[in-house]
Structure 1
């Protein structure tokens, strides 16, 4: 069996989160969709037949896909002797998604799952296509690409017996994270190799928790992967998951649904947020109901607001589109490689692009590759060569090799985000 994870035309709605990563690599409630697909592939390889995950994504991310995730694109021709599982890369990476995809496979019949977005349009979310139905499809237009052929076969077998959810906009990641966090950490405990250190606290080897920790697991368990270090005098509240080699600094308060990637440094007060790998927020300051990409650094005293003074539902803007989120709590969405100076204040529901630098109060969305200091009357361009040099210094601090594909990504993201800067009224280069 083959598993083909594909990005569709709506993936761009998830920017800035997906500027630097395929949609299947978004972390939500401690899992990426890729993690679940690899679990499915492993389970279906036990029968003796090899099962591989393949990625069909935006061209400029193909080198990152191979280097960071070890995935290849699908073949240009469909194999007629293999079943295929098609998976939209925007699917929410939840236990429910995993179980539904597993049911599709076990049913053993061609079936498509079509969803409805927040409007009235339908979207192709997943399908299982049998080798037999592929073999019978010789009459299809030879000009169709393999994905189009598979979707066309599946569209004749739409099923209402399955339910799947997909991310439509970046704030959906925060909302889904809160909805699915408990299920995800409980799955980890049940299926992972963890030792119960104390009631509700599950760890892998190398974990240290400093003295005088205040641990609360009535709302959900706390799960730490290898070599997580927690300093003394920390407040920890579940559900909470931390990837390997992460450091929680002394006097931190990490509470109510936080997912930390690997090799993160975290401090201050953090609540209900997703923080991707290699990001630093190690000083005092509040972060709540937010999503931070990788290689971000928040300066000391940086805080965000996640609640309006009116306690009303929060609206958010993506480009020139304003929409109601239906969420009372929503902080910020920050793209990879962006950074804040000391005492930066980020207003409720703000979206910050990739590779930008923030100073003062962030009262509006920030495009990518911008020095944002409106408080001081200054907003200027951050050229890609500056960010490539900054990337080299960051990587060296973490003993990570800077590869050509990393440098190429910085340039590619700059080129792709030019329209963000052109359409922003706040810029004066």
Structure 2
């Protein structure tokens, strides 16, 4: 049986911070599934990870004398998996359209093997997540692809509620235990996937493509617009458009979230809003950890990117193209800065101070424990490491 290892491309990972502060690249969610889950599904195997040393305890690396290294930024497909499975020792699978490395077979931890290994060209277009805005930019298409993957040959649970109206019911799939009450599901423009034991509460309007993860809840009167993915164990409400929540995060109240990505264990207070379009209709610029400058996204619509364990107080306003780091507490009047470093405490009006690590860890522990999940020494050490490399805004 082949040994698969998902690796972080050193040229990609810095551009996906702050999300890759706390996870390998492939643990990013785009569509219904994470990139790891896409690979695992098509390969019928559970890969290990080659990532930053401080993350390896949580995401183990398992090597043998014959490994197939997989680019963690690639959105796997059935045809990619077939080509990967046919690789011979010393071969690298390269995308014909852009020379992107997809995978390679080698006993060595070589991340850029093109010059050393025999090239096998993959003729089909591929999708890779290389910048923050790719996460929401590719999300609608990935929902459609994952929907086909997860539902092929299966029968949906029925929408039993007589007060729920469904448009294009053939594009709606409910997993076991999913409940929809007195809502509108419009799947005419793309599929709607409701995960296991997930709930859509009364008065909600959902437009596909849309995905709701296991045990997640759409709150009363919510407006879920196209190309939105809500990961597992989330609570979502208000108006949400073309956004991704990785999992275990809450935006339960009214307020707008658009063209945005939230990591895990985030919380937006009541009436939080973000801008996703500039008044002058010019391209949005976004803070890049890789260059420590504002980078042109070449997109008119671009919103909020929030790292794990970050919280925003009630009525917090985020400007167009805002990047907030890990374990930050943001609150107060006025639009917040376009970049808020990890472990910051405060807001635009009050100013920011350093979030004391002892307090930050205690809040993180309480946040996770109240959901019945484990927050142990491994998770604590990851946050301590991010804290140290983030001090003085010297984040790498």
Q: Deviation string for 1:122-142 (max 9, x for gaps)?
A: 653323x3xxxx6xxxxxxxx
Contact 2:7 2:50 in 1 (8 A): yes
The TM-score, its normalising length taken from structure 2, stands at 0.88
Match of 1:73 among 61, 79, 83: 61
CA displacement 1:86-134 (0-9 Å, x = unmatched): 211122x254xx432323324768642346999xxx653323x3xxxx6
Higher helix residue share? 1
Answering whether residue 364 of structure 2 is matched by residue 364 of structure 1, we say no
Match of 1:201 in 2: 172
> Is contact 2:97-2:125 (8 Å) kept?
no
Separation in 2, partners of 1:422, 1:389 = 24
Distance 2:147 2:51 in 1: 28
Give the equivalent residue in structure 2 for 1:426. Answer: none
Is 1:20 aligned with 2:22?
A: yes
Say whether the 8 Å CA contact 1:189–1:223 is kept in structure 2.
no
2:113 match: secondary structure: helix
What SS does the aligned partner of 2:19 have? coil
State how 1:104-115 maps to structure 2 within 5 Å. 104-106=84-86, 111-114=91-94
Task: Name the structure 1 match of 2:363.
Answer: 390
Using the TM superposition, give the Cα deviation of residue 387 of structure 1 relative to its aligned residue in structure 2, in angstroms. 1.1
Q: Please state whether the residue corresponding to 1:166 is helix, strand or coil.
A: coil
**Per-residue CA distance 1:383-414 (angstroms, 9 max, x = gap):** 22111100121123212232111211211111
**What's the CA shift for 1:357?**
1.2
Give the alignment of 1:136-175 within 5 angstroms. Answer: 146-148=108-110, 151=113, 155-159=117-121, 161-175=123-137
Contact 1:280–1:296 (CA under 8 A) maintained in structure 2:
yes
Matched with 1:290 is 260
Change (3 A) 1:99 1:16: same
Instruction: Tell me the residue number matched to 1:142.
Output: none
Counterpart of 1:126?
Answer: 103
The structure with more radius of gyration: 1
State how far apart, in whole Å, the 2-side matches of 1:116 and 1:349 are: 32
- Give me the TM-score of the superposition, normalised by structure 1: 0.82
Q: Which moved more, 1:155-164 or 1:292-301?
A: 155-164
The corresponding residue for 1:69 is none
CA displacement at 1:312 relative to structure 2? 2.5
**Match among 49, 55, 64 for residue 55 of structure 1:** 49
Indicate conservation of the 8 Å contact 1:301/1:344, yes or no: yes
For 1:87 and 1:163, locate their aligned partners in 2 and report how far apart those are by CA, in whole Å: 17
Label 1:168 to 1:295 Cα distance change in 2 as closer, same or farther (>3 A). same
Q: Deviations over 1:336-388 (max 9, x none)?
A: 00110100010111111011111232132111000131223x21110221111
Q: Does 1:411 align with 2:394?
A: no
User: Which 5+ residue runs of structure 2 have no aligned equivalent?
Assistant: 160-165
Which of 242, 250, 256 aligns to 2:226? It is 256
Q: Secondary structure at the match of 2:6?
A: strand
Which residue matches 1:281?
A: 251
Aligned-residue CA RMSD in angstroms? 2.6
Give the Cα separation in 2 of the matches to 1:317 and 1:191: 44
State the secondary structure of the residue aligned to 1:112.
strand
Q: What residue number does 2:200 align with?
A: 230
- Deviation of 1:190 after TM superposition, in Å, equals 1.7
Q: Which deviates more from structure 2 when the two are superposed, residues 218-227 or residues 321-330?
A: 321-330
Does the CA-based 8 Å contact 1:354-1:369 persist in structure 2?
A: yes
Which sections of structure 1, spanning at least 5 residues, go unmatched?
A: 43-50, 66-71, 135-144, 424-429
Q: Could you report, residue by residue, the CA deviation over 1:260-279 in whole angstroms, capped at 9, with x for unpaired residues?
A: 11110111111111101110
Q: Which residue of 2 aligns with 1:321?
A: 293
The question of whether the paired residues in 2 share the 8 Å contact of 1:233 and 1:251 is answered with yes
